[in-house]
Amino acid sequence: MKPASGIGVFNDTRQTVPRLPFAAIKNYVLGKNYGLSLAFVGEKTSRRLNRLYRGQEGPANVLSFALSKKSGEIIINLPRAKKEGSLFGVSAGERMTHLFIHALLHLKGLSHGSKMEDKELSIKKKFRI
């Protein structure tokens, strides 16, 4: 489901999604009038979407798709995000928040680099993450 504005969340896994301020972060980065769908998927779905849309083999930890100037989708590989949290020594929630912010910044038009990293840190500080 793609909301006209706001955020719609869908969990296609049997795992629990940590309670995080997704809507508040989305509103801060993209604005209240931006419609966002946020889906949590498993390894198999992530692998299929990564191959289909990016031509990459293997599952992605996060994918983002701009649908228009005022709407988009973010797909987070929930099991991978949780595993990466452990590997990086942070909670699953912290890792998921980082991936979410990263994808939001891509939807806003930023590319990888120091400007994006600075923005990610700034947003994490604002939300005390």
Partners of 40 in the β-ladder: 11, 76
Question: How is domain 6-126 classified at the CATH fold level?
Answer: Collagenase (Catalytic Domain) (3.40.390)
Instruction: Report which residue type is found at 103.
Output: A
List pLDDT tens digits, range 23-54: 999 999 999 999 999 999 999 999 999 999 99
Which residue ranges make up each domain of the chain? 6-126
Cα(56)–Cα(70) distance, rounded to whole angstroms?
A: 27
List pLDDT tens digits, range 63-120: 999 999 999 999 999 999 999 999 999 999 999 999 999 999 999 999 999 999 999 9
> How far apart, in Å, are the Cα atoms of 93 and each of 21, 36, 52, 75, 81?
10, 19, 28, 15, 9
Does the pTM exceed 0.75?
yes
